[in-house]
A and B are shown apart, each in its own frame.
Chain A
């Protein structure tokens, strides 16, 4: 009986984490001087949110000049809505070795 409760709790948590993963595909985490994921595909009209978890500030700057966040301190976020299909490369202007790409299709 105890075993069954345990396994159903495990099942529920697996489903929940799966849901959480499925609910929020348009998020990029900035941590340890990396964008995660580095490459993200979204549908036209989607908003992408970048959140900085590092104690060091980072920025999200479009290579083509389409968007530019202010300096994001720890816990700060930046959101941009992608209307048109295309490939959008971005980088951190404070640490330009940090790069990523959003593909809209």
Chain B
């Protein structure tokens, strides 16, 4: 991407850069999250991540928590395009738009097309499908899955699985995968070697972080039952606009930051709405995750990079 493509946001880009290298990077190693700052990360051996994860871009949001979500997405894209070791593809774990409007999808797709990474795999968030099944999101991103939304692919010996847990909500409940998708998952994993590293990505957390706010997936245990024989499983989600992670046996769970606005920590305040933070703090609450999967030992390393 040419920097000139950023002309409308050049001011915000420069503003972003002016915040300097105050970012934080988390490395998940052997189950212990270690925070290091970007300055020391820059001097460490540069590793090309296998892929990057972007989430919750919420194009169309314009309230006080971030009146310019297109601007912060452009900053994020500039950050990615400036990375020395660019991976082949990116995952977007949903809430591409705020209100599922065609014009929001148009702008999001136009901005995401400026990524210097050619391949983008997506899974929908509940904000992308408020118009119901088979509409805007699926018309634009449903081809890979023949309109179902869930699909799998292989890259560099790693098996990637996109799941959809925002289409069949039960009242008062958590996200759900549904019987049809779980049957598909069982079939998809059948016959695969247990030594194949697996990366599962979906919008809402696949493990229960906070049930009163719906931060979990009611029938995910069945999915984990199919996944438990694999030696390395990485589960990536968005939805909660903040990092929460845990390691359980061979499974690593991680939620990514939003590029739009932060949300309160579980149970703080009336609900999981946009959190207004001082404008100078905002770039530190937004960012992306990059994931490196090593074969020996089999492990996924997840690093989170903020806009500032």
Q: What residues make up the interface of A, taking CB atoms closer than 8 Å to B?
A: 32-34, 54-57, 59, 63, 68, 70-71, 73-74, 89, 91, 93-97, 99
Contact = CB atoms under 8 A, between A and B. Distances in A.
Given A94-B130, A96-B173, A99-B171, A57 B271 contact: no
B12 to A, nearest CB: 22
B130 A59 contact: yes
Interface of B is mostly: loop
Contact of A63 (B130, B131, B171): B171
Interface size class of B (residues with CB under 8 A): 20 to 34
Nearest to A33: B271
A97 B273 contact: no
Contacts of B272: 33, 56, 95
Given A32-B270, A57-B130, A89 B214 contact: no
B64 A57 contact: no
Given A56-B274, A70-B131, A97-B172, 16 more contacts: A33-B271, A33-B272, A34-B270, A55-B65, A56-B272, A71-B99, A74-B63, A91-B169, A91-B171, A93-B126, A94-B127, A96-B171, A97-B212, A97-B213, A97-B214, A99-B171
Contacts of A73: 98-99
A95 B214 contact: yes
Interface in B269-308: 270-274
A34 B274 CA distance: 16
